[in-house]
């Protein structure tokens, strides 16, 4: 083959650059040389239908533009559907040798209130629970506990300062800050808990425009962690349904644009809305009474309604907000209530029932440990399973009461494991 001239070298270099993105082998030099032989060039090129002279260097620019346009078009087609693109974050902690995470913990141990929210501290490998004890009314105390998933043991924490009861609400673990974030649905105050130092610190409160809706119920806010942007996302489920992201390291709030497409589920109470973050497809997963939609944080758009879920409900109660969690190992969003466990695969827009009781009313479910309403559930990345605590279980034919046992559900085996028995035996039906 004759030596390539300058133009041929530029074409060959361009082809080699873009050939890196395809799987087909390309001999760039041969292609460029053959084109040069079969189509002799003048000093300028002429497009016969325009009769306009184009300098030779412009051909290179046109070629680049065509290649870039083709690549962008391909990205748009692929990007219209969520695809698996992110790997699960490996936890920084592992159980010590000799640990028995499947063995129930001591039944006589102290334990937290059965009314609380949980988050998983990935740096130290423990569940953080913030909860309050009730006395036939509002939450009266605010307590901080940890649960060791390697020994199945609770430990009461004793921070020097702590949020007041008005800060009782959902939690999200901020992996970048290595802190658990709590936000008051009443005042908009934000607190960060550092487990390593057992310290609560008040952070920058939510913007006034977000607090304008004045959500007051503990479950009126939904908190999830966006692992791509390293921010906590807060969704106000009331009206207006606003969304914000919070950089807890910098203390900066930013509104999340929903592109004038705010999703208000029809015929539903705001307190039935559940939210999770699917790290594998980089989407928020919103669920409300059988309807699911995905939210793209990068474009600010909600997807059209997806496949409706299998039968799932709260037995006449409102959701606690803790009935949903993302299973990193299975790459699915999991919902649990009244003995039913269903999972959503966002990439395939497919639901699956993993465990079912065939009952849609709490009184019909029975007294099995999984038959509970308003539990708190979190994903344990160390043992790759879901951990459930609290909620209300049936204590009689018509009575329901709080439970303080700890359960685990493995989405692969579809089996429940009791990690900690209830402190008091449940009465016979």
CA–CA gap between residue 143 and residue 145 (Å, rounded): 7
Residue that terminates a domain, selected from 79, 108, 136: 79
**80 pLDDT more than 60:** no
Residue 26 shares a structural domain with residue 158: no
Q: Which residue has the higher pLDDT, 334 or 206?
A: 334
Q: Which residue has the higher pLDDT, 196 or 57?
A: 196
pTM of the model: 0.76
Tell me the percentage of the chain whose pLDDT exceeds 90: 42
- Report yes or no on 427 lying in a domain: no
Residue 261 shares a structural domain with residue 152: yes
Comparing 227-236, 254-263, 325-334, 408-417, the range with the smallest average pLDDT is 254-263
Output the domain CATH number for residue 195.
2.120.10.80
66 neighbors 72 (Cβ within 8 angstroms): no
**157 pLDDT more than 80:** yes
- Report yes or no on 180 lying in a domain: yes
CA angle 377, 382, 386 (to 5 degrees): 20
Residue 297 shares a structural domain with residue 150: yes
Residue 75 shares a structural domain with residue 134: no
Could you list the residue range(s) of the whole structural domain that residue 73 is in? 6-79
Nearest-10 crossing angle of helices 6-19, 56-79: 10
CA–CA gap between residue 235 and residue 223 (Å, rounded): 7
- Which residues 6+ apart lie within 8 Å of 164 measured at CB? 142
344 neighbors 332 (Cβ within 8 angstroms): yes
The mean per-residue pLDDT over the stretch 43-54 comes to 41
- Report yes or no on 69 lying in a domain: yes
- Report yes or no on 87 lying in a domain: no
Q: Which residue has the higher pLDDT, 18 or 229?
A: 229
State both tokens at 262. 């705010």
**pLDDT of 207:** 78
How many domains does the chain divide into?
2
Residue 27 shares a structural domain with residue 129: no
Residue 12 shares a structural domain with residue 122: no
* Greatest C-alpha distance within the chain: 95
Q: What is the pLDDT of residues 241-297, one digit of tens each?
A: 789 999 999 999 999 988 776 776 555 556 678 999 999 999 999 998 888 999 999
List helix spans (H) across 124-262: 208-211
State both tokens at 78. 């692929």
Residue 146 shares a structural domain with residue 68: no
**pLDDT of 136:** 42
Residue 75 shares a structural domain with residue 153: no
Place 394 in a pLDDT band, splitting at 50, 70 and 90: confident
Residue that terminates a domain, selected from 22, 54, 79: 79
What are the residues facing 199 on neighbouring strands? 194
Q: What is the pLDDT of residues 329-386, one digit of tens each?
A: 999 999 998 888 999 999 999 999 998 865 555 556 666 778 888 889 999 999 999 9
């Amino acid at each position: 083959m004759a030596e390539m001239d300058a133009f041929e070298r530029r074409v060959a270099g361009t082809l080699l650059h873009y050939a890196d993105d395809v799987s087909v082998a390309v001999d760039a030099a041969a292609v460029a040389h053959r084109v040069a032989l079969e189509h002799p060039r003048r000093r300028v090129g002429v497009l016969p239908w325009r009769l306009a002279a184009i300098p030779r260097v412009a051909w290179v620019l046109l070629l680049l533009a065509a290649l870039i346009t083709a690549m962008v078009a391909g990205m748009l087609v692929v990007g219209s559907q969520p695809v698996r693109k992110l790997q699960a974050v490996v936890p920084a902690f592992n159980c010590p040798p000799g640990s028995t995470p499947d063995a129930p913990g001591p039944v006589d141990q102290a334990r937290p209130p059965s009314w609380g929210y949980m988050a998983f501290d990935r740096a130290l490998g423990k569940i953080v629970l913030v909860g309050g004890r009730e006395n036939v009314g509002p939450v009266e105390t605010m307590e901080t506990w940890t649960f060791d998933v390697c020994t199945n043991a609770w430990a009461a924490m004793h921070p020097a300062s702590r949020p007041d009861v008005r800060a009782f609400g959902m939690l999200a673990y901020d992996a970048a800050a290595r802190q658990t974030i709590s936000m008051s649905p009443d005042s908009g105050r934000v607190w960060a808990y550092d487990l390593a130092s057992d310290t609560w610190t008040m952070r920058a409160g939510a913007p006034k425009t977000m607090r304008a809706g004045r959500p007051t119920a503990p479950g009126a806010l939904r908190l999830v962690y966006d692992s791509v942007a390293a921010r906590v996302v807060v969704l106000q489920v009331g009206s207006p349904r606003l969304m914000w992201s919070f950089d807890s390291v910098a203390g900066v709030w930013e509104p999340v644009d929903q592109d004038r497409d705010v999703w208000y589920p029809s015929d539903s109470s705001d307190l039935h809305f559940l939210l999770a973050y699917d790290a594998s497809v980089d989407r928020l997963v919103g669920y409300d009474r059988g309807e699911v939609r995905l939210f793209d944080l990068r474009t600010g758009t909600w997807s059209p309604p997806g496949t409706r879920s299998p039968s799932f409900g709260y037995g006449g109660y409102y959701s606690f907000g803790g009935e949903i969690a993302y299973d990193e190992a299975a790459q699915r969003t999991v919902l649990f209530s009244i003995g039913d466990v269903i999972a959503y695969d966002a990439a395939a827009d497919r639901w699956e029932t993993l465990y079912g009781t065939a009952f849609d009313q709490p009184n019909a479910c029975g007294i099995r440990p999984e038959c509970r309403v308003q539990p708190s559930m979190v994903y344990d990345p160390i043992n790759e399973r879901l951990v459930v605590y609290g909620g209300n279980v049936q204590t009689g034919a018509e009575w329901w009461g709080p439970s303080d046992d700890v359960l685990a559900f493995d989405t692969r085996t579809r089996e429940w494991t009791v990690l900690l028995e209830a402190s008091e035996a449940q009465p016979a039906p």
